[in-house]
């Protein structure tokens, strides 16, 4: 079994979060990418069409990096501007409101195909199971509002009920519009009859980038997967863009990291804490990510080979919400690169790999991480 001391030494900053928890229980897009390397990527031109499973499979088969989220402005799989083995992806930002304050989010995934095509989001059928539960927040889409009107959210990072998974409500002004900046404003407008309302079963993944008293941290070092943050620059709320690190994973995807269920992990990973993720796995809304804590050195979360998803992004069974599992090569086993979950399980069943739900220090407890996939691209990692 992998010792705690060895695990922490191997996992660096991620291990710090694990230790705290244990103690308490294409290939580059056009644009000003600046030193981006690769060639022939395709970025989405406008947030007009969400990718279906057949479309995402076709994009991967073309052998090019392809944006599958409409709000992707630019991306590159690698860059010679920094030491870290990751690329970048630029998203459009969307202004919203929480209790009178402006917030900024990105649109990535939704349970509903029509809504996905309207907003350029990846369709994820598994998210539908969260509708009508206490595992979602409220997102109010205001139609016919004033120019400054954005979507109204019920919560934000830093609160016990925060989650990026929101159930969508539509309201439409019946006469003269006013700015609505809180769910209390929305409810008052409904009560007064100044708006009509449509309740929907649509669930959308809309990670927060900046909120009333904080924002996702920026990594100025740019040397490691985690580092001080997952953003590569401060959110630009004038141009309404934000740049994330873009990470490689099997099979054939590039992803970002935005939220995690456990508070110690949020501190260690420098992402938003989403307490409401605690029940999404039981609701059937998650997939699995298989992370390596030793073995072949590489760009993965713990400094080894890229992680392995259970399915391809865009497949009906895929989800951006992952149950996190860690694997360690057993003593005396010659590590090798594994590229599918079937290979991971085969090695585990043969005794070559030891499986840890969550991490070795979470004592069998899994946790959920929000890692949307904005880009499909062939895997380029080599040992």
| Separation between Cα atoms, residue 199 and residue 209, nearest integer Å | 26
Q: What is the pLDDT of residue 315?
A: 92
Other CB atoms within 10 A of residue 31 CB: 13
Q: What is the pLDDT of residue 150?
A: 97
Given a cut of 50, the residues of the chain with pLDDT beneath it are: 1-63
| Separation between Cα atoms, residue 281 and residue 26, nearest integer Å | 33
| Separation between Cα atoms, residue 20 and residue 304, nearest integer Å | 22
| Separation between Cα atoms, residue 362 and residue 21, nearest integer Å | 7
Q: What is the pLDDT of residue 314?
A: 86
| Separation between Cα atoms, residue 154 and residue 323, nearest integer Å | 25
- Number of structural domains in the chain: 1
Q: For residue range 224-280, what is the model confidence (pLDDT) as tens digits? A: 999 999 999 999 999 999 999 999 999 999 999 999 999 999 999 999 999 999 999
Residue 36 lies in a domain: no
Helix (H) or strand (E) holding 356, with range, is strand 353-357
Residue 329 lies in a domain: no
Residue 288 lies in a domain: no
Helices H / strands E in the chain, number of each: 7, 25
Residue 109 lies in a domain: yes
Cβ atoms of 211 and 101 closer than 8 Å: yes
Residue 108 lies in a domain: yes
Q: What is the pLDDT of residue 383?
A: 83
Between strands 272-273 and 122-123, the pairing is unpaired
Residue 188 lies in a domain: yes
Residue 199 lies in a domain: yes
φ and ψ at residue 310, rounded to 5 degrees: -75, -30
Between strands 321-329 and 253-255, the pairing is unpaired
Q: What is the pLDDT of residue 78?
A: 93
| Separation between Cα atoms, residue 276 and residue 357, nearest integer Å | 19
Q: What is the pLDDT of residue 86?
A: 97
Domain, as residue range, for 111: 93-209
The pTM assigned to this predicted structure is 0.86
């Amino acid at each position: 079994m992998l010792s705690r001391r060895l695990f922490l030494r191997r996992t660096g900053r991620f291990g710090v979060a694990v230790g705290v928890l244990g103690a308490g229980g294409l290939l580059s897009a056009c644009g000003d990418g600046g030193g981006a390397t690769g060639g022939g990527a395709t970025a989405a031109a406008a947030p007009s069409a969400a990718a279906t499973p057949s479309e995402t499979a076709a994009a991967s088969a073309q052998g090019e990096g392809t944006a599958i989220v409409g709000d992707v402005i630019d991306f590159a799989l690698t860059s010679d501007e920094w030491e870290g083995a990751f690329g970048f992806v630029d998203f459009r930002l969307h202004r919203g409101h929480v209790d009178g304050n402006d917030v900024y989010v990105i649109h990535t995934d939704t349970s509903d195909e029509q809504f996905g095509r309207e907003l350029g989001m990846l369709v994820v059928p598994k998210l539908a199971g969260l509708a009508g539960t206490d595992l979602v927040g409220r997102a109010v889409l205001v139609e016919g509002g004033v120019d400054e009107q954005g979507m109204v959210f019920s919560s934000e990072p830093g609160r016990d009920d925060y989650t990026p998974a929101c159930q969508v409500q539509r309201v439409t002004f019946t006469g003269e519009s006013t700015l609505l900046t809180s769910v209390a404003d929305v409810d008052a407008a409904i009560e007064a009859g100044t708006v009509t309302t449509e309740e929907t079963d649509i669930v959308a993944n809309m990670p927060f980038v900046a909120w009333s008293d904080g924002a996702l941290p920026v990594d100025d070092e740019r040397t490691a997967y985690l580092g001080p943050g997952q953003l590569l620059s401060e959110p630009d709320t004038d141009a309404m863009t934000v740049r994330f690190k873009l990470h490689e994973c099997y099979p054939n995807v590039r992803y970002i990291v935005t939220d995690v269920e456990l508070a110690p992990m949020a501190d260690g990973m420098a992402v938003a804490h989403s307490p409401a993720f605690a029940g999404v796995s039981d609701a059937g809304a998650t997939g699995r990510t298989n992370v390596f804590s030793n073995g072949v050195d590489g760009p993965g979360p713990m400094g080894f080979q890229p992680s392995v998803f259970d399915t391809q992004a865009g497949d009906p069974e895929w989800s951006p919400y992952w149950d996190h599992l860690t694997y360690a090569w057993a003593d005396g086993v010659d590590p090798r690169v594994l590229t599918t979950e079937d290979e991971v399980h085969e090695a585990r069943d043969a005794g070559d790999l030891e499986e840890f739900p969550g991490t070795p220090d979470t004592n069998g407890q899994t946790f959920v991480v929000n890692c949307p996939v904005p880009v499909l691209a062939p895997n380029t990692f080599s040992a």
